[in-house]
Every structure is written in C-alpha cells, then in structure tokens.
Amino acid sequence: MDKVKVISSDESISELSGHFKVIAGPGAGKTHWLVTHIQNVLQNVKELTAASKIACITYTTVAGEEIQKRLGINQNKVEVSTIHSFLYANIVKPYIYLLKDDNGDMLVNVEELDGHDENIATKGKIYVWQQEARNGYLTDKQKIKKCLENLDWKLEENGINLKPRKPYLSKIGRYSIKSEELLIYKRLFWKEGVIHHEDVIYFAYIILEEYPLLIDHIRSKYPFVFLDEFQDTNPIQTEIIKKLGNAGSVIGVIGDPAQSIYEFQGASRQDFISFSLPNQTMYSIENNRRCGSKIVDFLNYIRIGDELEQKPLRDDSEIDVYFYECNEAGDDNITRFHELRSRFRLNGDYCILARNNDLVKQLRNAEAEDIWTSFNEIDSNRERFIKKMFTAFKLVNDNRQEAGVKELIKIFKTDKDGILKEPFQEYQYVSPVMKRSLAVDLLEFMACGMVKFQDKSLYEFYEALSGLLKVKNYGIKKITRGRIKEFSDSTSIKLLLDNLILPEEKSSEIRTIHKAKGMEFESVLLYFSDNEEVKRLISPDISSEKDDTRILYVALSRAKDLLCIACPPLDTETKTILSSMNLMEVDLVMP
C-alpha cells in the first residue's frame, strides 16, 4: 500500500496538479477541506482557462448544495453536481444520438429525451413487455414488478450486463426472467425517450468506450475532477473516472471505506481502498471534530481492524453512550430519548434513525400500507404528477427552494414539439420559460393552501389545482369515474404527505440511516428492530463485504453530543456485554 500522509482538515496540500486520495472518517471536516482545496486550486493553478472548470462531484444533491453555499462567489468556475447529473449533462445528453441498435436506428428516442427518471414498472408497461417478450407464463405480477424495478448494470469480464440487484428477484415461480427479456423492458422506455437513473451510468460508459476521443473534450473542459464520498461509487462510475484521469484530468477522491453502505447499488469498500491512478498521493485525516470523546471511543471500537483510528478534538462533551429496551416503535420509546436530552440540557437538533422506510413510517405513525404504490397501480400518470408536486412542496419546506422548483418543472413533460403529455389535456404547448413560471405558481398555490387541504381528499385538491391551471390557460384531464375516482375520493392529502419519503431530506427528525449520510445532529437515537442488530454492535466487522456493520457505523457517527440506542428486550448476558463496552443503561441512571 502507498505511504499515507497524515494531514488535518485545515492543512493544504502542496502538490495541486497530481492525483490524490484522501481517507477521512466521520466528523473529520472533509467538506471544509475540499472547499478549501478547490479555492486553493482556483487561486494557484494555471491549467484553468476561461473555458474550463473544476468539476466537484458529490453523492447527494444536499451535499452539493452545501458545497455551493460554502464556495460563495467562486461558483462560476466550479461545477458542483451529482455523478448522474454530471454524466448526463456532459456525455449522455449531447452524445447519446451516436448509439445505434442492430438495425442502425438510434438506440434512444433523442427527440423525446428529457432528463432521467426513476424506474417504475406500471401495469401497462408490464403488459406490453410480456406481449413483446412472449413470456405470459410469468403470472406473479408483484414479483415481476419487483424484479423490473430493481435492475442495474453490472461491469463483468464479458462487458456490462443488465441484472436484478439481487439474483433471486429474477425467479418468478418455476421460471426465471431471461437477460434478453430484461433488455426488451429497457428498450420499451428508450423508444419513448425515457431513460432511468441507472441507465445514465451505462450510456456514459458505452459512449466513451465506442467514442474514446470524447474523453479529450471532457478532459479539456474539466482539467480537475474532485469526488466526495467516493466509497459509494460503483465500478462502472469508477472506470469512467479512471478514463478521465488517464486522459489528463487531475483526479482527487475523498471518502471513507468504513462508510461504504451502497452495496445494493454495486459500491464496494474494497474498490475505494484499491482505487489508484499513476503517481497518486495518499492522505489521511484522523481527527474527529464532530463527536464527543465517549462517542469517538465507541466508534473506534466499531471500526476495530480498520487502519484509521480517530482522535477526538472536542474536550467540551463527555456524555456517555446510552441504551434502553423497548418493545416496539412508539411514542413512549421516543419520549425516553427526549427525557435523556432534557437531563443533559440538550435543546438543539436531533434525529431518530432506523434501518428502513417501513420502520421510519412506524416511528412517524404513518400508515404501514404503501399508499403511493396503490396510487401508481391505479393511475401511473397522475401518481407521477401528484408525487412530484408533493415532493417539490416538501423540498421547499426543507428550505430547498431551487430544488423544489426543479422538481416541479418535471411535471411538465412534453413531446419533441413542446406539447404537454398526460395528465394534461391534448394539444397544449408549453415553453421552457413558461414551465418555470408555472412551477413557481404551483408552489405558491401549495404554500398558501396546503394547510387547509390536509384533511381534504385528493379529488378536492385535484379539482382546485385544475381551477388554478385553467386560469393560466392550461388544463388537466378530469377525474370522472372508475378506480381513480374511488381512490381520489377516499384518500386524504395528509395520508399522501405522511407517506411520502424524500430521496434526500435535510430537516426530517425521523429518517433512514442512508438518508442521514453526511448529516450531523446534537442528539441521535438509533432504533433497533431486532436483536441481530445488537449482535452486530457487539461483534462488529467493518471490513465485511456486507454493509451491515458500516450502516451501524454511519448511524452512530451522526451524533455530536448524545448517542442513544433503543433495543428490543435484552437478556442479562447481552446487557452485561453492552455495559463492558462502556454503554450506560438509561434505566439505571434515570428514575
């Protein structure tokens, strides 16, 4: 392994024109270091011209927004985006027309292409797919849907192949969905100009493989490419970055192998550890600026066997790490956490973390039923339309106004001539400028009226929305009869909002561990639903191919002052082991 230079988050590196890799644990101040490094490059490097920029690639939009905010006036020379946005804007959108199918036709309908979408297998799409694939003998529609919605591209020795994220998903009863049938499904969307998030990475790689001269163009536009949270990058993305590095772009990657938690998307801890470019320099930031000393000690225990051992910088917080028993997700269990916060006079922000969305819904007292899936099965066009509206509303409430506007603009899907698609009425033209204007109007409509709509039905909301759009000379198709009429009459706006969980959230007090990545809170409660998670806590394996221990590590490292773990009922032996790990039982210290 290359020699690693230990630095602090306030320390600049002298070699600005060489590839580098920085290993930085939680709370190390890597965002601060990255922003400072970008500013250093802007001020001191001559390779940047009037036509070139620094590319700063983040794993989440929220992280990108934070970096843009910290960069301030330097934003015009730095392009901050997610890997999907970067590859779509610079490779896929401008060059996908070059890709042809076996008949010499364009692989994707470029005239209809407008961004990239979530992969949702509607009943209608599954029906058409089964007609084309001639696999009507597959009858379990729920299993088919789950398989088709969990596809990803895998880089293998024989090339890139389309597969379910979990191999067992392709098994439908006595049969299995064949690889060529999965491609038929994808091509149904491509013919309509629709590509999914995972397709962006695939097309970017294929375009660069077939047209390698394009690499030089991208390299000249982005002589410096810095990637945050690189441990979450999958092998195809890594190969694209290596192509840029070998073409001459200076590549800097920052991450932490102990926080690699996206195995289900193809990311691997080992890929980050082994990532290397010619003459790459290795750095390590060992300090933890975020967490109190007792929390850092506990994190080092979870991380045992890893090369990085963190050193706490704070000397103003020595609160113990706590645990308590609970029977099921409920208000009483959360109350005990708040009582502990009060005991230590901690009145700042807090977060309650759980492993999956179902647990988050239980903790939020939301419905167990997935109301949005039901909506999608009944009317996928209206579901997409309303879901994006409500997502935009939540983003604005999360103080992410521009992200809200961008999300709302997506409801105005058009054909190549600018004619709006369903659920809008036919033959209505909308310009790009008008899309933004309408998006702002709709956000104002929701900001002013959503409180009164909380207990109203979806049908009542839809009718009010129809009235607003009519004033703007646009119409949406009426809801008049059938299952969608029954659903919209019986479903409240509150139910839909309560069960809508954003892909990324800044201010929600209850969220999944994955959605807390990169965040920090004064107090954190980690909720365990079964004793298997307690066992992982006692016997951690941070180097495992599986993410389980690392997911725990990410959750535990969000806390600045108070870290508390809610466990299922424990036997005496387990309690004794937890106590030997310097975890304090709440019931023994509070009356």
CB 170 within 8 A of CB 176: yes
Cβ burial 154-167 (10 Å sphere, 16+ → b, else e): bbeeeebebbbbee
30 assigned ligand-binding residue: yes
SS3 380: helix
CB 212 within 8 A of CB 240: no
Q: How far apart are CA 559 and CA 352, in angstroms?
A: 10
- Cβ-based neighbour number of residue 145 at 10 Å: 19
Q: How far is CA 95 from CA 183, 196, 200, 547, in A?
A: 21, 17, 12, 36
Q: How far apart are CA 454 and CA 495, in angstroms?
A: 8
- Cβ-based neighbour number of residue 76 at 10 Å: 8
Name residues whose C-beta falls within 8 Å of residue 540's C-beta, 6 or more positions apart in sequence.
301, 302, 303, 304, 549, 552, 553
SS3 278: coil
329 assigned ligand-binding residue: no
- Count of alpha carbons within 13 Å of 265, Cβ hemisphere only? 16
27 assigned ligand-binding residue: yes
26 assigned ligand-binding residue: yes
- Distance between first and last Cα of the chain: 52
Q: How far apart are CA 283 and CA 424, in angstroms?
A: 54
Q: How far apart are CA 205 and CA 470, in angstroms?
A: 44
**Paired residues of 228 in beta bridges:** none
SS3 456: coil
247 assigned ligand-binding residue: no
Residue 116, phi then psi, degrees to nearest 5:
-135, 145
Name residues whose C-beta falls within 8 Å of residue 473's C-beta, 6 or more positions apart in sequence.
none
Residue 366, phi then psi, degrees to nearest 5:
-90, 170
Q: How far apart are CA 503 and CA 387, in angstroms?
A: 12
Which string of DSSP letters, residue by residue, matches 460-492? HHHHHHHHHHHHTT--B----SHHHHHHHHH-B
CB 186 within 8 A of CB 160: no
28 assigned ligand-binding residue: yes
CB 322 within 8 A of CB 584: yes
Q: How far apart are CA 582 and CA 478, in angstroms?
A: 62
- Cβ-based neighbour number of residue 524 at 10 Å: 26
Name residues whose C-beta falls within 8 Å of residue 186's C-beta, 6 or more positions apart in sequence.
151, 162, 196, 199
Residue the block writes with tokens 């001459």: 248
404 assigned ligand-binding residue: no
24 assigned ligand-binding residue: yes
The region, left, alpha or beta by phi > 0 then psi within -120 to 50, assigned to residue 418 is left
Known binding residues are 24-31
Known binding residues for ATP are 24-31
